[in-house]
Amino acid sequence: MRKSYSEQINISLNEFISFFLFQFSLVAKTLIAHPCTVLRRQCQVHQFARTLHLTPFTLIPVVCKVVSNEGFLTLWKGAIGSGVLWGLSTAGEILIADLFGLPRSTAISMTPFIVSSFVETVRSESGLGEELRVMDVVTNGINRLRFDFIGPKDNSKRFSLVYLSVPTACLFTSHYVVTNAIYDWIYSLFKRYVDRKPAHEKTIYYRYFPEIFSTFTSHMLADLALYPFETVLHRLYIQGTRTLIDNLDNGVTAISITAKYAGFFDCFRTIIRREGFWALYAAKWEGKGVEERARIHQLISMIEALHQSGDYAGSPEALYALVEGCADGRPSESIKALIDYRVAVRYFYVIRNFPLL
């Protein structure tokens, strides 16, 4: 049966909105979250740092010096590689899930490219002679994988990618499990609280607030719980790569990574013994919540425009269904994206009815 003109218009509109949801999410992640990621990772791998930068205030003068020496774009180093890594992960999930019917998990297979992308984000640009290329993440990952199997013997104490793939997969899996467990626990608590309220007091705020609060809190607590794990893993990534990083104690010089660890648990024990427990939480003030908040707030303006367009004006359910349909069409990160876009729609209607929030 041939679809009507209005149905065809709705389908085209859904595809158009879905495309821009991709773009808003990617732009927010690149422009806002990536500089924080660069600084956080450099603090994590800086052994024997005089300042752990547990608050952002100690990092501001250092960042000003780094920018004056290397240029403003140094805060976005590795952004292209991160985009390539995202594309590879998307293609890998499509291949694994749609063709082979396996779970959407690419942590093990993507470890070579995760490591090479990480090195790009922490490498100092001081004295960097060669021009960076778009596909460096791919070529460096393949070369390192090749050297692990058929290359000459390496005396640099660099860990093999096979070894690194195990803790990498554990980190991704643990974050997913912890996030969902905390979400279910917090959501059930708030849901019971809301259910006890009288019907006339159950405004739209109480209808959507449990899910909004649970989503953000679960991600924040999962990041906090697994941050030491991430710090140790990042130090294993960079060991033996002969990478220079910016010295975030002064912001002027570059330093080499000289610490040598025998393995994951040796790295964990050595950090606590020689640098102190709080070295595991270096630069934790940044966290990954910046990215989550950025992705949500970037969508608010789009939802505002849709709300005022006429077709969806005054109908949260219709607009919610539209954005949900667009999110379901994502080929990658479908579950996480769907949560983000659901929260964006609901958050919009909450702040619309409660402007003081």
The structural domains of the chain, with segments of one domain joined by +, span 11-353
| pLDDT range class, residue 215, cuts 50, 70, 90 | confident
Q: What's the confidence (pLDDT) of residue 226? A: 94
Longest CA–CA separation in the chain, Å? 74
The residue length of the chain stands at 357
- Token duo for residue 336: 């996480």
Answer positive or negative: Cα dihedral of 253, 254, 258, 263. Answer: positive
Answer positive or negative: Cα dihedral of 73, 283, 224, 242. Answer: positive
| pLDDT range class, residue 125, cuts 50, 70, 90 | confident
Decide: helix, strand or coil at residue 103.
coil
**Are the CB atoms for 69 and 126 separated by under 8 Å?**
yes
**Are the CB atoms for 162 and 130 separated by under 8 Å?**
no
Question: CB atoms < 10 A from the CB of 299, how many?
Answer: 23
Q: What's the confidence (pLDDT) of residue 327? A: 45
Burial of 109 (0-12, 13-18, 19+ CB in 10 A): middle
| pLDDT range class, residue 19, cuts 50, 70, 90 | low
**Residue 65 in this model has a pLDDT that exceeds 50:** yes
Q: What mean pLDDT do residues 251-261 have?
A: 87
pLDDT tens digits, one per residue of 318-327: 555 555 554 4
Of 122-126, 148-152, 178-182, where does mean pLDDT reach its minimum? 148-152
Architecture of domain 11-353: Alpha/alpha barrel (1.50)
CA distance 109 to 100: 14
Question: Which residues, other chains included, contact 326 with Cβ-Cβ below 8 Å and sequence gap of 6+?
Answer: 14, 17, 18, 21, 341
**Residue 266 in this model has a pLDDT that exceeds 60:** yes
57 DSSP 8-state letter: G
